[in-house]
Amino acid sequence: MTPNPAALDFLLTRRSRPAKTLTLPVPTPEELAPLLTAALRVPDHGKLEPWRLLVLTKAAMARLADMAEARARETGGNAERIAKGRGQFDQGNLAVVVISSPKVQDKVPEAEQILSAGCVCLGLVNAALAAGWGASWLTGWVSHDRGFAEPAFGLAPQESVAGIVHIGTETSAPPERPRPDVAALTRWIVE
């Protein structure tokens, strides 16, 4: 066993940054590459790679904000739904959309493939934070509304959005928040 106290301390103190507090600069393609590489080092039983990534730049975000507003209006959305849909993209400067793309086969259950995509999201947030960037994993209605997500992200029928990870420069560190009570949520089975 070789302990890594610095890594454990990072994991014990890590804190996502609210996406609305992230600003320029954002990682360059060269700075983003190792973060994406780290994110894809996740449990992937069967080496299926049941995910794919879309990197959204500011220009793409502006187009997606307009699409989100149009979709919200088309579905009778109120002002709050419109603002939430637009806001995710209007306020962002760089985001990575993690697409869960399960492969049809008999070896690895679909649920495990979907969980693997969630691991990519957390891995990307942690990699960005470890590299000194602010990062936040969001979803919201834009991730789950097929009428928006399919054309916006080019989803195939079996695909879904696992998360939209915003990355940028943090403007302020968020205050610590209450954390789960480990003892209350853990049961040891010894026999």
What pTM was computed for the model? 0.96
16 in a labelled binding site: yes
pLDDT digits (tens, 9 = 90+) for 92-111: 999 999 999 999 988 999 99
Residue 146 to residue 130: CA distance in whole angstroms: 33
pLDDT < 50 positions in the chain: none
Q: Report the C-alpha gap between 5 and 135 in whole angstroms.
A: 23
The response to whether 41 counts as a known ligand-binding position is yes
- The pair of three-digit structure tokens given for residue 57, joined into one six-digit string: 């730049």
**pLDDT, tens only, 7-34:** 999 999 999 999 999 999 999 999 999 9
Q: Is 137 annotated as a binding residue?
A: yes
Quick check: bond before 25 cis, omega within 30? Answer: yes
Domain extents for the chain? 17-57+93-170
CATH topology of domain 17-57+93-170: NADH Oxidase (3.40.109)
The closest alpha carbon to 113, from 126, 127, 98, belongs to 98
Q: Is residue 15 annotated as involved in ligand binding?
A: yes
52 is annotated as contributing to ligand binding: no
Q: Is 2 annotated to bind ligand? A: no
> Residue 176 has what DSSP assignment?
P
